Every structure is written in C-alpha cells, then in structure tokens.
C-alpha cells in the first residue's frame, strides 16, 4: 500500500479531513495530501500513502488547473463567497472588456496573498489576524499563470474561468484582482481543482466510493503506483555491479549506469535497478576531481 490515491474532495471536507479518512481506510499511519483545498472548494486532492509521501513535494510543486466562477460587482472580505460583502458596484464591462482584463494576468504575476490564508507573518497565521478584524501589509509573491480561458459568460456579471497556474496561486485573489482591473470588483463564487501535476478530476475517486472499496477489501484498486508519476521523467538504469552502492544511497559514476537520453548538468531523473525496481530521484552532475559524470542521490524511494 505505497502509492497515491487521487481523491475527489467534496465541499465541506477540509484537506486534513480527507487525509484522516484515507489513513483510516488504508490502515497506514503515513499519509499526506499534496496541496490544500479550502473546505468550500472541491476537486482533485492526491493523497500519498507510505513510501509515496516522499514524493508529495514533487506533486505539490507542479502546475494546477482550476475552474473558478468569477462573480463581478461584489467584493467580499475573504475574496470568495464565504465572506461578508464589502462593496457592490454596477458591472458595465462587456465580454471583450472581461477578456482583455483576464488576458492581462497571463504570465508572471505578482500576487498579494489574502488576509484569509494560512500564511504566517511573524509566527501568526493571517486568517487568525483577519478574524480579529486586523489587516497587515503582505509581501507580494511571484506566481505564474499559464493560461486563462473563459468557458462560460452569463451576462452581465458571471464568468466561468479555466485557469492553469503555478503552485502558490490564490485563485480567489486572481478573481478579486480581475474585478479590480475592471473597476467593479469581484470575488470567486466557486472553485473546482480539475488537475494537479497530471492527476485529473476525471480519474479521481470520491470518499464514498473509497469507503465502498474498503468494505470489500479492494481499496488497493484505488492506489496509483508512484512510478506512474514519473512516467515523463528521464530514467537511468544502474548496472548490477553498482546496485549495492545505489541501495545504500551512494553516488553512481557513468560507467555503472545507462540511459537512453542525453542528460544536462543539474538535471533530475529517476534511477532504477534490478529489472525496473524504482530506487530514487537522482541528479546528474560532473565530478571535477575524477573528471567523470555521476548520479547523486536527491531522494531515495526504497
């Protein structure tokens, strides 16, 4: 039971709730999610089990994709539908105006994290301060928006957006900023994460389905091998005479591994041994003292 379950988180569950349920159903104490979803949000939440928790950060660091409903003309305290209304304005923008504003956020984007977030400033979570009515200055953070598509437009004030973005992007802040750019304000009315690092909503499993599998002792059918996550990574195969060094987390020099691809210095790849057994994540480097290329362990997955 080492792998990933691609859970479809439903509204009302916290990400920690999902992890606790998976832990209980799988009977494995070592479980962790790969990027928090707010309780009101739904969608893809991969949960790593056992040894796969070692790769949770790599899944978390990948791109995300969301469908967000942007409600224009209404600004809220939390930048989403759960907050109190701060201001209401008439929406005079047309679809071309909205499309132009949306396209202005594609690419590198300096985003100010919302007060209602778990980010810590001076040891205190922002949402704790926000609940007390306090607001403090937050440093802008660099995020990247790969694409934003308008899937639906409900005249005059609702747009369903498909957003592909980097880790750390607050979609509700993006919705709020689009509203500001249009001069009418706005907030995120709903959010569904449809993809994260290749895990897609269409292949996810709901909690009730997971419980049903557990009752039939078939929960392993929902577990995705962690090797699947690395399908697009370059691979190196270690020769038998160096397997002991590999298993012990040692450096593997170029005479003792084979790969089908050209490698670049600093590139990360996956090392296998003994007929396709996954050993870990390695980095391709040059050893100046020995004048030889080598693989250096970054994260052992044994």
DSSP labels for 58-117? Answer: HHHTS-EEEEEEEEETEEESSSBTTSPEEEE------HHHHHHHHHTTSEEEEEPPPSSS
Residue spans of the domains in the chain: they are 3-62+198-228, 64-196, 233-300
Tell me, what's the pLDDT at 159?
Answer: 97
Q: What secondary structure letter does DSSP report for 223?
A: P
CB 272 within 8 A of CB 279: yes
CATH number of 3-62+198-228: 3.30.2350.10
Give backbone dihedrals phi and psi of 210, rounded to 5 degrees, phi first. Answer: -65, -40
Tell me, what's the pLDDT at 124?
Answer: 72
Tell me, what's the pLDDT at 217?
Answer: 94
CB 115 within 8 A of CB 170: no
E strand residue ranges, 166-222:
186-196, 199-200, 205-206
Give dist(CA 206, CA 8) in Å, integer.
Answer: 5
pLDDT averaged over 10-residue windows placed end to end, the chain, 302 residues: 94 94 91 90 96 94 97 95 94 97 96 77 71 76 97 96 96 96 97 96 96 95 94 93 91 92 93 88 95 95 90
Query: Which of 38, 80, 157, 177 is flagged as catalytic?
Result: 38
Tell me, what's the pLDDT at 113?
Answer: 83
Tell me, what's the pLDDT at 261?
Answer: 86
Give dist(CA 270, CA 283) in Å, integer.
Answer: 9
Give dist(CA 44, CA 202) in Å, integer.
Answer: 9
Q: Is the bond preceding residue 202 a cis peptide, omega within 30 degrees?
A: no
CATH number of 233-300: 2.30.130.10
Quick one: 107 exposed, middle or buried, by C-beta within 10 A (0-12, 13-18, 19+)? exposed
Q: What secondary structure letter does DSSP report for 202?
A: G
Query: Is there a common fold for 3-62+198-228 and 64-196?
Result: yes
**Residue 97 is among the residues annotated as catalytic for this protein:** no
Tell me, what's the pLDDT at 139?
Answer: 84
Give dist(CA 75, CA 70) in Å, integer.
Answer: 11
Tell me, what's the pLDDT at 1?
Answer: 77
- For domain 64-196, give its CATH number from 3.30.2350.10, 3.40.50.970, 3.30.70.890, 3.30.565.10: 3.30.2350.10
CB 185 within 8 A of CB 175: no
């Amino acid at each position: 039971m080492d792998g990933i379950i691609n859970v479809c988180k439903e509204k009302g569950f916290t990400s920690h709730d999902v992890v606790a349920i998976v832990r209980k159903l799988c009977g494995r104490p070592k479980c962790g999610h790969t990027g928090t979803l707010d309780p009101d949000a739904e969608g893809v939440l991969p949960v790593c089990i056992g040894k796969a928790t070692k790769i949770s950060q790599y899944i978390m660091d990948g791109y995300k994709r969301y469908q967000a409903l942007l409600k224009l003309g209404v600004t809220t305290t939390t930048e989403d539908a759960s907050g109190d209304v701060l201001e209401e304005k008439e929406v005079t923008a047309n679809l071309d105006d909205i499309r132009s504003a949306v396209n202005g956020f594609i690419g590198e984007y300096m985003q100010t994290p919302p007060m209602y977030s778990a980010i810590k400033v001076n040891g205190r979570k922002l949402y704790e301060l926000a609940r007390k009515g306090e607001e403090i200055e937050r440093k802008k953070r660099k995020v990247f928006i790969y694409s934003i598509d308008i899937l639906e437009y409900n005249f005059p004030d609702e747009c369903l957006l498909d957003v592909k973005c980097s880790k750390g992007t607050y979609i509700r802040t993006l919705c709020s900023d689009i509203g500001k750019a249009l001069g009418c304000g706005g907030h995120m009315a709903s959010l569904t994460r449809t993809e994260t690092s290749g895990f897609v909503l269409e292949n996810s499993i709901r909690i009730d389905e997971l419980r049903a599998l557990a009752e039939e002792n078939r929960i392993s059918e929902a577990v995705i091998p962690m090797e699947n996550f690395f399908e697009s990574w370059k691979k190196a195969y270690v020769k038998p005479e160096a397997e002991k060094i590999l298993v012990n987390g040692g450096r593997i020099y170029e005479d003792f591994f084979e790969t089908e691809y050209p490698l670049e210095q600093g590139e990360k790849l996956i090392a296998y041994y003994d007929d396709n057994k996954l050993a870990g994540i390695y980095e391709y480097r040059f050893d100046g003292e020995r004048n030889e290329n080598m693989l250096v362990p970054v994260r052992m997955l044994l």
